[in-house]
Structure 1
Amino acid sequence: MADAAELARTLVASLLAGGVREVVLAPGSRSAPLALVLWAADRDGRLRLHVRVDERGAGFLALGLAKASGRPVPVVTTSGTAVANLHPAVLEAWHSHVPLVVVSADRPAALRWTGANQTTHQEGLFATHVRASATVTAAGGVPYEVGRLLAAATGVRSRLPGPVHLDVELADPLVPTAGEPDQDLPAVALTTFASAPPADPLVLEPGVRTVVVAGDAPPALGRAWAERAAAASVPLLAEASSNARSGPAALSTYRLLLTGLAAEVERVVVVGHPTLTRPVSRLLARTDVELVVTTPYADWPDPGRAATRVVDDVVLAAPGEAEHAWFRGWRAAEDELRGRVDALLEGWPGLTGPEVARTVLEAQRPTDVLLVGSSNPVRDLDLAPVGDRPPAVYANRGLAGIDGLVSTAVGVAWGTGSPVTALLGDLTLLHDASGLVVGPLEPRPDVRFVVVNDDGGSIFTTLEQGASDHARSFERVFGTPQGVRVEGLAHAAGLAYAQVDDVAGLRAALRRPPSGLELVEVRLDRTRRRALDEALRELAG
C-alpha cells in the first residue's frame, strides 16, 4: 500500500484541477488523511469545506450544492456503514442528473473477509446507481481516475451526468508524524474533454393543437420555455419546480383544466421531468397524442412509453389565428377557474396548505431562491397563482422523497450564493432533523425553514388509503402523528424560531430576508384535507 498522506494530497490536488471548489466531509478515522488535506486546502482558500456529523445529511448537502451550482461536489466519508448512508442522496442524484461525487475511504482489500473493524465490500456498493466508479490504492493512478470520474459526473461526453464513486484504500499510518499537513499539493494535469454539439432543433409544423408540459427543471431552462410558450401562444402546463410558471402562457390551474380540455390536445411537448399530477401522467400516456420529449440528456422521461419523438430541442411554430384561438380558450378557462379556486380557499374554514404556499411564494423577490419539499407542499405550491417574476425554485423530484431536504436546502443556499426559503412538511423536517445542526466552526448560510405542521402525513388523506373505508387503520399506518415540539428542535439546534397561525402572521414572519438559520412553524388541522382536495377537483366539473 502507498503512503496515505501522499495519496490524499494527490487526490485533493486532482479534484482542484478538475474544478472542484466545494467539498462536504463527514469525519471518521479511515478518512483522516483526506480530512487533514481538505482542512489545509480550506484554510488556504483553495476550496470551501463543509463538515457534518451525519453522512446521510452530508450526502444531501453535497447534492444541494451540486444541484444549484451545476458543478461536481464530492462528499467524503470514512469506511463501513458511513458509505451506505449516502445511498439515498446517490439515488436522487442519479435520477435528477446531479454531479455528486462520492469519495469513500476504505480499508486495504486484504482486510476483507477477516472480520476487521469497519471493513466491508465498498467496491460496487452503489451498483447501477452511479455513472462510473473506481478504486485507487496509490497516488500514481489518482489523476487519471479523478479526471475520468469527473467527466462521467458532468456528462461531458456521455450527456448523462450523475453520481460517481471513488473508493480510496488507505493503509496505516493515517496521520503525518510531523503535525499538520503543510506540504504543498503536487502539480497534476487532468485530461480535458470536449462535449459534442447538440443536434439541430426540431421545427414543429403549425396547425396542431399543442400544449407544453414543463416538469422539474433548472431555472434557466424553465424560464426560457415560459418565454417560448408565450411567444408561440401555446398553453404551458408548468409544475411548481419547473421554473416555467411565469408569463401569460403559464396556467396555474392546469391540473384541474385537464379534466375538461385534455381531450382536445393533439400534441404535447415535454420539458424537464414531470412527476407531480395524475392528470398530466394520463395525458402523457395517451397513444392518440403526438408526444415530443425534449431533453439535453442521453435518457428521457416517458413513463407512459408513448413518446413519438425524443429530441434535443424544438422550435414552436409561429402562431397563426388557429393557435391564438386555441390559446384564448385555455386562457379564458384558466381565468374563470382561478377565480373559483381563490374563492374556495378564501372561504374555507381555517388556514390551508395552498394558502400557506401562496403566501410563501408571494413573499419571495425575483432574486430569491425557494426550495419546496415533496408530498403536499409542492402540490400546494402548484396551485398558487402565476407570478410575473417568480423566484428560482428547487426540489428533489428525481425520486420525490422527503429525506434529506433540510440538508439540500442548505446546500442550495451555498450553491446559489443566495438566501433560501424552504417550504417543508413536518415529517420532512423530522426526516432530516440532524440537518438543522450546523456546528459553531462551520459557515452558516441564510435559510428560513417554513414548516407546515399538520402532525402527520396529510398527503395520504387525499389518496385511496385516505377513504373512509380505511378510517380505522389510517392514523396508525398512514397519518403517523408524532406530536413533536418543533420549537424544541429549533432551540436545540440554535435556530431562531417563530410560530404563526394565520396568513397575516406568516406575511409578517416573511417580511425580511432570511438571516442565518431560522424556522417558522405554521400549524394546520389536517382533518378536512381530503374534503378540500375533493372540493378543488369538483371545481373542474
Structure 2
Amino acid sequence: MKFPTRHPNLNSLWSALLLEELWRLGVEHICIAPGSRSAPLTLAAAVHPSLRQHVHFDERGLAFYALGLAKSSGKPVAVITTSGTAVPNLYPAIVEARQSGVPLVIITADRPPELIDCGANQAIEQQDIFSGYPGATIRLPTPSLDIPANWLLTSIDQAYARSCRQGLPLHINCMFREPLYPGKKDEDYSLYLAETTRWIESGSPHTEYELHGDGSLNASPVSWAEFMSGKGLVVIGRLRTSDDINAVLVLAQQLGWPVLADIQSQLHGHPGVIQHSDLLLASRSGRALMCQADRVFQVGGHLISKRLDHFLGSHRWQHYYMLGREVRRMDTGHCQTYRMVGNIGRICHQLAQLHVGSEEPLQPEWLDAFQAQGQRIASVVRLGQSESLSERWVAASLSTLLPEEASLFIGNSLPIRLMDMFSAHRSYGVYTNRGASGIDGLMATAAGCSVATQKPLVLLLGDISFLHDLNSLQLVRNLNSPMLIILLNNDGGGIFNLLPLAKGDSAIRHRAMDYFTTPHGLDGSHAAALFGIEYECPESIAAFRQVVERSLLRSGCTLLEVKTEPGEAARDISQTIAQVEEL
C-alpha cells in the first residue's frame, strides 16, 4: 500500500510521514496517552494499517509499558503524549531505557514557538527536557510547505541511527499550530510530496544507515591462546537473546573456567554454572579461590551481586576482557583491559572456533575446586530452608514451579537480591529493570513484556513497588495471556532492614523504621477489587503452589499476596551469610 497524498491538513501530513517512516525503520507498537495538542499524531497512529496501538491514561505507566514491549520484542516502541506536564511524566522510563540499552521513540506534542514562555496554557520548555538521556533529540519546526518532506524523513532516519540503532531512546518534539483536528475535506498534497516519489513507492526508509560494530581480537593486548592460559573466571551478566545465551555457554564450556552467572543471564542455575555465586564470596574458602584468579572474561553487565561487583572492581587483574552489545562503559571498578563491542553470539562463536580441537578444560582442578565449594554452599542453603511460606522460600522455590515457556520479571530492591542469592534452579526468560534499578513502573513494564511475548509471565515484586505503580493495574486487567503478580508484603521497604541503621540501638532502629522502611499497614485485596483482578492470599506452601499452577493456566491477571513479618528476610540473609562464612 502506497503512502497516501491526501490528508486533512499539514499537521496530519507531517504526523503521517513521521509515523510511516518510524514503522519502516522497525517500530511496530505505538503507545498513546490522550491529549489535544497531540491529536494529529494520535489520529495518524489510529489509521496506520500496520502499527499496533495501545492506550493508557497515565503517561508514566504508559512509558514503562512501552519499555516492557521493547524489552521483550527486541524492537523499538513509540510513545505519543501531549504537551505540558504529560512530557516530564515520561522521564523515569527514559532514564531506565537509556541505562538498560532499550530503544524507545518518545514523540511529544508541543505548542508553537509563539506560545512558549508567554503564559500560554499547558506550555512548558520541552526542548532537551530529558537532558542527555536520549541518544538523539529532534525539535521539529511547525509544519510548513516551505520545508521539504525529504528533510523531515532524513532527519528522522539520522536521529534514529544515532539513538535506537545504538540501543538508546530517541526524543522527537513536534510543535503544532492549530488546526489540530481534521476539517470536512482532505487536501491534496501531491505537489508537495512530488520529490518523495521514490520513497512513496519503495516501502523502505528514506535513508538506510549501515552501522558496523562487531568486535574482534585485532586490538587485543595478547593472543586468545595466551589469554586462555591462566586461571580465569567467566562472569555472565544480563543477556537477552537465545543466540547469545547458547554461544556464551559453548564458549564458557570450552574455556573450562568457573562460570558465575547473574540471575539476569538466563543461565543462573544451569548445571554448568557455579551454584550460589553471590554466597561464594561470603565464604572464606570461596574468597580464597576467587583471589587466585588472574584474568576474567565478562559478557554483559548490570550485575546484581554487590559482593561480586566489588570483587571484580578491587581485585588486581592481569587481563580483564569485557564483551557487550553497547559502547557505553560497564566497568564500575575501572579495571577492564580490553573491550569488545558487537553481536555477542557471533563474537563468542568466533572465539570458540579459535579453541577447536580440545574439549577438555585447560585446568580441570581449578574448575573442580569451584564446583565443590558451590555444592557445599548449596547444602547449607538447603538445610536452612524454611518449611513455612516466606520470602526466602518464594525466592528459592519460585523457578521450580514455573513451566519452561513462562517468563519471570523480578522486581528491584529485596526480591531480586533474594532470587540471586537463594535460587538454584534455572529461570528462563528473565526480565528486570536494572538500568537505574528503580522501583517505579515495574507492573507497567511487566505488562508490556507480557503483551509482546503472549506467554505466561510471573512478576515478583515488593509492597512499596506495588503501591508505587497502582495505576498500572489498569494495564494488566484485560491481558489475554496469563500474568501472575506475586506481591511480597512485609509492610514497608524490607531492603532497609539490611542497612547498618537497622542494627543500631532502639532509638536508631525506630528512626530507621520511620524514615526508611515506612510501614503502611496496607494489603493488595482492595486494589485487586478496584481493578477487577483475581486475588489470592495463601498461608501455606501447598496453597501457594496451587495458586501458581492454577493462575498460569487461565487468561488474565491474578494477584497473589504473601504476607510476611517485617525484617524476616533480612534475618534470613544475615543468618545464611554467617553460616556460609565458615566454609
TM-score by length of 2: 0.85
1:5 aligned partner, one-letter code: S
Corresponding position: 1:142 with 2:152: yes
Between stretches 73-82 and 256-265, larger displacement belongs to: 256-265
**Aligned residue pairs, count:** 529
Question: What is residue 310 of structure 2 aligned with on the other side?
Answer: 282
* Distance change (3 Å), C-alpha of 1:439 and 1:236: closer
* Distance change (3 Å), C-alpha of 1:161 and 1:269: same
Task: For residues 120-176 of structure 1, give each alpha carbon's deviation from its aligned partner in whole angstroms, at most 9, with x where no partner exists.
Answer: 111111111110010222272432222223223333xxxx32111000011111111
Between stretches 531-540 and 171-180, larger displacement belongs to: 171-180
Corresponding position: 1:21 with 2:28: yes
1:371–1:420 contact (8 Å) kept in structure 2: yes
What does 1:443-482 align with in structure 2 at a 5 Å threshold?
Answer: 444-469=480-505, 470-482=508-520
What does 1:225-244 align with in structure 2 at a 5 Å threshold?
Answer: 225-244=248-267
For residues 152 and 502 of structure 2, what CA distance do their matches in structure 1 show?
53
Question: What is residue 43 of structure 2 aligned with on the other side?
Answer: 36
Corresponding position: 1:423 with 2:460: yes
Match of 2:177 among 164, 167, 171: 171
For residues 420 and 179 of structure 1, what CA distance do their matches in structure 2 show?
47
**What residue ranges of structure 2 are gaps of 5+ in the alignment?**
1-8, 342-346
2:83–2:123 contact (8 Å) kept in structure 1: yes
2:126–2:173 contact (8 Å) kept in structure 1: yes
Q: Secondary structure of 2:265's match? A: coil
Match of 1:131 among 129, 132, 135: 135
Question: What is residue 295 of structure 1 aligned with on the other side?
Answer: 324
1:62–1:408 contact (8 Å) kept in structure 2: yes
* Distance change (3 Å), C-alpha of 1:151 and 1:273: same
For residues 230 and 555 of structure 2, what CA distance do their matches in structure 1 show?
50
Question: What is residue 443 of structure 2 aligned with on the other side?
Answer: 406
Task: For residues 262-321 of structure 1, give each alpha carbon's deviation from its aligned partner in whole angstroms, at most 9, with x where no partner exists.
Answer: 222221222211332221122111251232211122123101111122123563765656
Question: What is residue 164 of structure 2 aligned with on the other side?
Answer: 154
Task: For residues 212-263 of structure 1, give each alpha carbon's deviation from its aligned partner in whole angstroms, at most 9, with x where no partner exists.
Answer: 1222221433443234323432211111112122433312311111233322
Question: What is residue 6 of structure 2 aligned with on the other side?
Answer: none
What does 1:105-116 align with in structure 2 at a 5 Å threshold?
Answer: 105-116=109-120
1:196 Cα deviation (Å)?
1.0
Q: Secondary structure of 1:351's match? A: coil
2:136–2:160 contact (8 Å) kept in structure 1: no
Question: What is residue 255 of structure 1 aligned with on the other side?
Answer: 278
1:375–1:459 contact (8 Å) kept in structure 2: yes
2:139–2:173 contact (8 Å) kept in structure 1: yes
For residues 465 and 224 of structure 1, what CA distance do their matches in structure 2 show?
44
For residues 180 and 86 of structure 1, what CA distance do their matches in structure 2 show?
33
For residues 177 and 160 of structure 2, what CA distance do their matches in structure 1 show?
25
Corresponding position: 1:215 with 2:219: no
* Distance change (3 Å), C-alpha of 1:387 and 1:179: farther
Corresponding position: 1:103 with 2:132: no
Match of 1:434 among 453, 471, 479: 471
* Distance change (3 Å), C-alpha of 1:439 and 1:274: closer
Q: Secondary structure of 2:335's match? A: coil
* Distance change (3 Å), C-alpha of 1:309 and 1:53: same
Q: Secondary structure of 2:252's match? A: helix
Between stretches 419-428 and 220-229, larger displacement belongs to: 220-229
RMSD over aligned Cα, in angstroms? 2.5
2:231–2:293 contact (8 Å) kept in structure 1: yes
Question: What is residue 352 of structure 1 aligned with on the other side?
Answer: 390
1:523 Cα deviation (Å)?
1.1
Match of 2:403 among 361, 365, 376: 365
Corresponding position: 1:9 with 2:29: no
For residues 20 and 571 of structure 2, what CA distance do their matches in structure 1 show?
58
Question: What is residue 337 of structure 2 aligned with on the other side?
Answer: 308
Match of 2:91 among 79, 87, 90: 87
1:10–1:143 contact (8 Å) kept in structure 2: yes
For residues 102 and 57 of structure 1, what CA distance do their matches in structure 2 show?
14
Corresponding position: 1:66 with 2:70: yes
TM-score by length of 1: 0.92
2:135–2:164 contact (8 Å) kept in structure 1: no
2:390–2:562 contact (8 Å) kept in structure 1: no
1:264 aligned partner, one-letter code: Q
**What residue ranges of structure 1 are gaps of 5+ in the alignment?**
none
